[in-house]
Each structure stands twice: as C-alpha cells, then as structure tokens.
Amino acid sequence: TSLKASSLYSVTVSVDVNQGESVREANLSFSDGNLTRILTVRQDACLFTLSGNQLTFKEGQESSQVTIGSKSLWSASVIVPWIRLSSRSGMQGETVTVSVDANEGEKRSDWITISGCFTTKRIEVVQEGVSTAAHDPGKGKFRIYPLPADRFVTVEFAVETQGSRFV
C-alpha cells in the first residue's frame, strides 16, 4: 500500500521474553521507496537464576541462604509452617535466608517455589529427623533394635525385683 506523506502511521512490535543471558536486538526497516528508516529494537535479558535447587538441614533449628539472580520482580512462596523465608518478594537479585524449625519427628521435606521473569523454579528443603538411638542405661537392662528404626522395633529387657518393687 502506498503511504501518503502527510499521514501518521503506527507500528506495534511484539517480542517474546528474552530468557537468554545477554541483550538481544533486531533491526526493522521501513521504506516508502525514496526514504528508508531503520528502527533498532533492543531487549534486556530476563535472567532468573537460583544458587541451588536443594537445601539440607540437620534436625535442629537452622538457617541457610539462597541467592536469587533476577533482572525483574520475583516472588517466593512456601506452604508448610516449619519453613520460613526472610523475604517473599523482591526486585532484582537478592539473598534470602531460609530458616527451619527444629524437627522432633521423622525426616521431612517440602518445596520453596520462586517465580520471576515469566518462569517458576523450585528449591527442595530436606530436614533430618530425630534419630532413635539405642539406650543402654547401664548394666544392659534393656536394648532397642534395629537402629535406625523403620516402623517396628524390638525391645529386650530384664527385670530385677527387690521384694515387691521392680528395679
């Protein structure tokens, strides 16, 4: 279609998210036959990285850090109450402290979900449980096995009496 010199025209350019590591660009060329204009479109990278994909903790109350590399807004979520985050959202890169409550039960795990730059990533959080240690209170009065226990244990014990009371 031929264009009139006195008319105004608009062009809409749509691009996908740049999930690469560097700036990308493209040149658009417009010509009316006598005159050519070049429009350069540049797009920053929407880089989104995490310092790891798993955190492992002992059974006590502990903390660790995760570094979020991002050139845009990000948000983090966790469902279970025993995992706490120092921040649930941020702008660009940030270090977040992940804390866990002491675990008095079995080994447990859950996920932290972090979204940014139109993508979602997860970090697995694993926390060891309290071990069931064999208990020998002295002279071998009782023994628990196997250790660590799965679902069932065997308890062996000896009972000594003095008159009508157990020792």
- Output the CA torsion sign for 136, 142, 143, 149: negative
pLDDT 10s digits, 49-88: 899 999 999 999 999 999 998 878 899 999 999 999 999 9
Residues near 89 by beta carbon (within 8 Å), at least 6 away in sequence: 73, 74, 75, 76
Rounded-to-integer distance, Cα 63 and Cα 85, Å: 10
Strands of 19-151, DSSP E:
24-31, 36-43, 48-50, 54-57, 62-70, 73-77, 83-85, 89-91, 94-100, 108-116, 119-127, 142-145
What global pTM score does this model have?
Answer: 0.61
Most confident of 19-28, 76-85, 112-121, 125-134: 76-85
Half-sphere exposure of 91 (CA within 13 A, CB side): 0
Report residue 9's pLDDT band, with 50, 70 and 90 as the boundaries. Answer: confident
User: What is the chain's length?
Assistant: 167
Rounded-to-integer distance, Cα 27 and Cα 38, Å: 6
